[in-house]
Amino acid sequence: MNYLFSIQSDVGITKDVNQDAVGFKSVKTSRGNAVFCVICDGMGGYDKGELASASVVKALIRWFDKDFPKLVDDYKFEDIAAQWNYVIQDINRKIINYGRACETDLGTTLTAILLFDNNYYFCHVGDSRIYLIRNNKIVQLTKDHTLVAKMLEKNEITEDELETHPDRNILTQCIGVSGRVSPQFETGEIYGDDVFLLCSDGFRHEISKKEMMDCFNSEILNSNQDINTNISRLIERAEMRKEEDNISVAVIKIL
């Protein structure tokens, strides 16, 4: 498996600190290339959100460097999910204890994806997202852990209302705040020309799925520079539309 990719993170137009954190690693294995990407959005309104997001990215990148190589030759998704869950529960507990010791609040979302052996695997907590662009269609793979997502499940609001609802940023769980988190773990097959897009909510608030499709359709992405240019274009568009949050995006195209 070969790939093109680009990652950008922008502080935005109003905040002094970028509380988003992004990690990306790749490695050659006996079963082909493996790619691992993590996006965490530190809680705006919580003190030291950037510390929480950076700590979670660091913990998962450490897992990829240290523990993933041991799984390459003989693994099941359940093994990966179990190790991820251990890392997540451990770092969640550490962040909570740190906050109590410092008498402050801090938290973060978590969205991570592993592309390996013709499959994708992801773990997710919060409202950052993973989209899959395939065959000229865009699908959201992650489920938002938000109040409005629960309202949508109960048919109390429509999908269009979900994106603009005044309570859209209220999370039902996140790392460092929830006593115990219940991450979403999913897996699926990878096909040539698939495009995976990971983003914090600051990106998707002002950018539509159609705009993502127009910029990241596999047919127009022929180099890392193509991806980088189009990410920059959409970040600028979001800021022109007065998006006030930090903005982070990672795009990976499978060749």
Lowest mean pLDDT among 13-22, 156-165, 166-175: 156-165
- pLDDT surpasses 70 at 243: yes
What per-residue confidence (pLDDT) applies to 167? Answer: 79
Whether the CB-CB separation of 5 and 24 falls below 8 Å is answered with yes
Give pLDDT, residue 46. Answer: 64
Per-residue model confidence as pLDDT tens digits over 63-117: 999 999 999 999 899 999 999 999 999 999 999 999 999 888 899 999 999 999 9
CA distance 97 to 253: 39
Phi/psi at 241 (5° precision): -90, 10
Is 141 a residue whose pLDDT tops 70? yes
- Chain centroid offset of residue 11 CA: 17
Give residue-wise pLDDT tens across range 12-38.
Answer: 999 999 999 999 999 999 999 999 999
Number of folded domains that form the chain: 1
CATH number at residue 224: 3.60.40.10
Look at residues 24, 51, 3, 1 and name the one whose alpha carbon lies nearest to residue 248: 24
Q: pLDDT averaged over the chain? A: 94
Domain of 92, in residue numbers: 3-254
What is the reported pTM?
0.95
